Amino acid sequence: MLAALLAQTRLSPEALNAFFVRPPLMASAESSLPPIDWDALTFSFTETDRMFVAHGTWEDGWSEGEMMDFQPLTLTPAACVLNYGQGLFEGMKARMTPDGRITLFRPEMNARRAADGSARLVMPEVPEEMFVDVVRRVATENRRWVPPNGRGELYIRPIIFGSSARLGVAPADEYMFVVFAVPVGPYFKGGMTPISLRVSQEHHRAAPGGSGGVKAIGNYAPGMMPSKKAKSEGYSEIIYLDAVDHQYVEEVGAANFFCVRDNVLYTPELTGTILPGITRLSIIELARSMGLEVMEERVDIDFALECDEAFCAGTAAVISPIGSIEHGEKVVNYGDVGKITLDLYSRLTGIMDGSSEDPFGWTLEI
């Protein structure tokens, strides 16, 4: 009956969707939902209430798009993203401040990085204003999933990909921009407990001229095998060295690397094979504002092993102290969380979650 009725209507699928989707949850409806166990949160998937979808083409740019209930997407099996990996993702967090406001951290930087990645992967760029506006709306419509201050974050995942059919290896004609959100806890078990890492001797994440400098989806699956193996052997993650000399530190799985020696902070320079992390940039700016000397240069693994402190940084990882690194026959133990690591961690998370001043204007209230 409903199907017959739908077959007769002249409404577009978008209009029908708008008709049938659930409106954002009102306060009274929210209070009748089962409570969320914030303290059980890990960095894993939970289905939330609402998501956003827009369609794009080269000729017409991006549609206005729409918010809808969280639901599966319909894609042709010949979609360019499924066959050739034409797609990228972003990762950002919404946080609850102690006084109950919800903020984002430098969302315009994610918008710019997504635009750079889109150019590299030949996809239409989502304008910065649209990107940030959509992220705000997704956070707002999933606000009941934003954990209380200090007990987790709402991780927001924008994805952009080639959605139309393509048999030859060439860019798609049609694209989708989708944003969903998931409440998360610590990326590494134990939060600020120092992690143990192993340097990958056989695998590299990215090579010069490749796609390592953008958040291309295709960068991540090849890392699953070495990472899974290291985890099954008791390590939290692997460290990748550069693909040319196999000597210089690139990244820690999906996070940037930092080390401290004689009160100087070192991090690998952006050579095109390393993702320009927003947390990385913020730490560099924060450290310099604290009067610390910061060196962005090639970081030899042997130098890193002789440092006083080491940590990795990213949206998911925030700042995670590194307790030990194994590199072939060598093993180094950095001991407890270092003083500079801890100082950077408390200052950065204080700005991020609104428990301290934001002198840089990095946070944006939704």
Residues in contact with ligand COI by the rule CB under 6 A: 91, 254, 314-316
Residue 248: DSSP 8-state: B
Minimum CB distance to ligand PLP smaller for 67 or for 114? 114
Residue 200 CA from chain centroid, whole number: 22
Minimum CB distance to ligand COI smaller for 178 or for 254? 254
Q: How far is the CB of 306 from ligand PLP (least distance, A)?
A: 24
Q: How far is the CB of 92 from ligand PLP (least distance, A)?
A: 8
Q: Give the residue carrying structure tokens 């204080």.
A: 350
Q: Which does 280 bind (CB under 5 to 8 A by kind): ligand PLP, ligand COI, none?
A: ligand PLP
Catalytic residue among 93, 215, 231, 339: 215
Q: Which residues bind ligand PLP (CB under 6 A)?
A: 91, 251, 254-256, 275, 277-280, 314-315
Minimum CB distance to ligand COI smaller for 89 or for 303? 89
CA nearest neighbour of 203 among 246, 237, 235: 246
Q: Which does 268 bind (CB under 5 to 8 A by kind): ligand PLP, ligand COI, none?
A: none
Residue 56: DSSP 8-state: E
Residue 70: DSSP 8-state: S
Is 215 in the active site?
yes
Identify the burial level of 287 via C-beta atoms within 10 angstroms of its C-beta, where 0-12 means exposed, 13-18 middle and 19 or more buried: buried
Position with the least CB separation from ligand COI: 91
Q: How far is the CB of 158 from ligand COI (least distance, A)?
A: 11
Name 238's Cβ contacts closer than 8 Å, sequence gap at least 6. 197, 198, 199, 200, 203, 223, 226, 227, 230, 252, 253
Q: How far is the CB of 314 from ligand PLP (least distance, A)?
A: 3
Distances from the Cα of 77 to the Cα of 73, 83, 121, 163, angstroms:
12, 8, 20, 10
Q: Which does 326 bind (CB under 5 to 8 A by kind): ligand COI, ligand PLP, none?
A: none
Q: What is the distance between the alpha carbons of residues 30 and 197, in angstroms, rounded to a whole number?
A: 42
Minimum CB distance to ligand COI smaller for 1 or for 221? 221
Q: What positions carry a catalytic annotation?
A: 215
